[in-house]
Amino acid sequence: MRIVHVASDRGIGGTARYLKEVLSSPAFGEDQLAVVVPPGTLADHLAAALPHVQVWVRPMPSRSFHPSALLDLLRLFRAWRPHVVHTHSSLSGRLAASLAGVPAVFYTRHGLKDRTSAQVKGFSLSIARSLERRLPHQVVAVSQKVAKELAEEGIPEARIHVLYAPMDPGPFQALGERREGVRSSLGIAPEEVVVLGTGRLVAEKRWEAWLDAVAEARDLLERQKGPRLRPLIAGDGPLKGRLEKRAASLDLDPSLFLGFHPDPLALYAAADIFLLLSLREAFSLAVVEAQMAGLPVVVAAESGSGEIIADGETGRLVPAGSAAQAREILVDLALHGEKRLRMGQWARVDAQRRHDPLQQGRKLRELYLKALSPGESP
């Protein structure tokens, strides 16, 4: 098959990482793969990491639909004649594929509906949603939570397919060997229990609740003469200054803010617990990475990532992302090292099974073949 992916992202965020893992799947070893992206970090990264994939750099605007992008992609698809076009947040790509007569058109919904955007851009968003309902495209949802939202928007359930992100477990295999060195470089004492959070410093991540939970758990552990809790946050964003002030008011060490970290695997090696309290998370690849690293994950039960956690077995679920509930869970995990290790081990096994690159790639490829009529199959 000739398969083209289209993404309007320029940087390496969640969508970009998802796309890289899909394109890396051995399930597509016999296919011709191409990806259309705008100039930027993502284009350079994919070109270097995926020599078997044709990377076509096009001057696409960042928004989902733009007439110039539509015309450019239409010419491209008519010339290359792909069997499948799979877009990631690109309405221009889906429309161009339909106009070019591409036999199978897919798109992945990576996030939940932005309520702020719905208020600010109500008219344009309404048009986009209307087109999504009417165009006979197949939709890949990154979680059951996203699939439910798609169905509520009126997209027929027969066109919605939940497919969890594939992830190569290889890079996580030797993290244990790095633990001591990484912790030493960060000034972490052997007896300290590290609580890790990663992501952009934005409101939807609920970092203030995260800081409250960690600070309260630290105080409880001190009173119980338990181990010292060491919080770390890797990421940057517009709320950095406000969060630094909040951390200072809670008497948390300002060094907990690491900013953008070039080696996230090192942080997983150093950590003992991964904490995420976002309620509007469609699905967090960082949660999967933490599981692959053998960490127990504590997440808001209502988030998309909550659906992959077996509460009490591979991690813990926090009702409504409550800071008070998270505090109790953190104290319990900090006091019981064997429980942490057991949860982390089960989390790793569970993640490797669910996100197996070959199996997830095969599932996606089967969807492609099913969408092609007998006369259109390669």
Domain that holds residue 327: 170-354
Closest to 213 (Cα-Cα) out of 316, 79, 105:
316
**What DSSP character marks residue 102?**
-
Give percent of the chain above pLDDT 90: 81
Listing DSSP states for 199-254 in one string gives S---GGG-HHHHHHHHHHHHHHHHHTT-PPEEEEEE---TTHHHHHHHHHHTT--G
Residue 289 inside a domain? The answer is yes
pLDDT higher than threshold 80 for residue 122:
no
Q: What local confidence, expressed as pLDDT, does residue 8 receive?
A: 85
Q: What is the pLDDT of residues 227-274, one digit of tens each?
A: 999 999 999 999 999 999 999 999 999 999 999 998 999 999 999 999
Closest to 18 (Cα-Cα) out of 146, 114, 178, 135:
146
Residue 284 inside a domain? The answer is yes
Q: Which residue has the tokens 């993290």?
A: 175
Same structural domain for residues 364 and 293?
no
Distances (CA, A) of 134 to 38, 130, 144, 354: 27, 6, 22, 32
Instruction: Give the predicted TM-score (pTM) of the model.
Output: 0.91
Closest to 44 (Cα-Cα) out of 66, 25, 16:
16
Same structural domain for residues 323 and 236?
yes
CATH of the domain at 201: 3.40.50.2000
Residue 378 inside a domain? The answer is no
Residue 141 inside a domain? The answer is yes
Provide the domain count of the chain: 2
Residue 365 inside a domain? The answer is yes
Q: What local confidence, expressed as pLDDT, does residue 340 receive?
A: 98
pLDDT higher than threshold 50 for residue 140:
yes
Same structural domain for residues 126 and 182?
no
Confidence category of residue 113, pLDDT binned at 50, 70, 90: confident
Same structural domain for residues 127 and 186?
no
Same structural domain for residues 176 and 143?
no
Lowest mean pLDDT among 37-51, 138-152, 333-347: 37-51
How high is the mean pLDDT of the chain?
92
Residue 222 inside a domain? The answer is yes
Same structural domain for residues 227 and 153?
no
Same structural domain for residues 27 and 125?
yes
Same structural domain for residues 238 and 362?
no
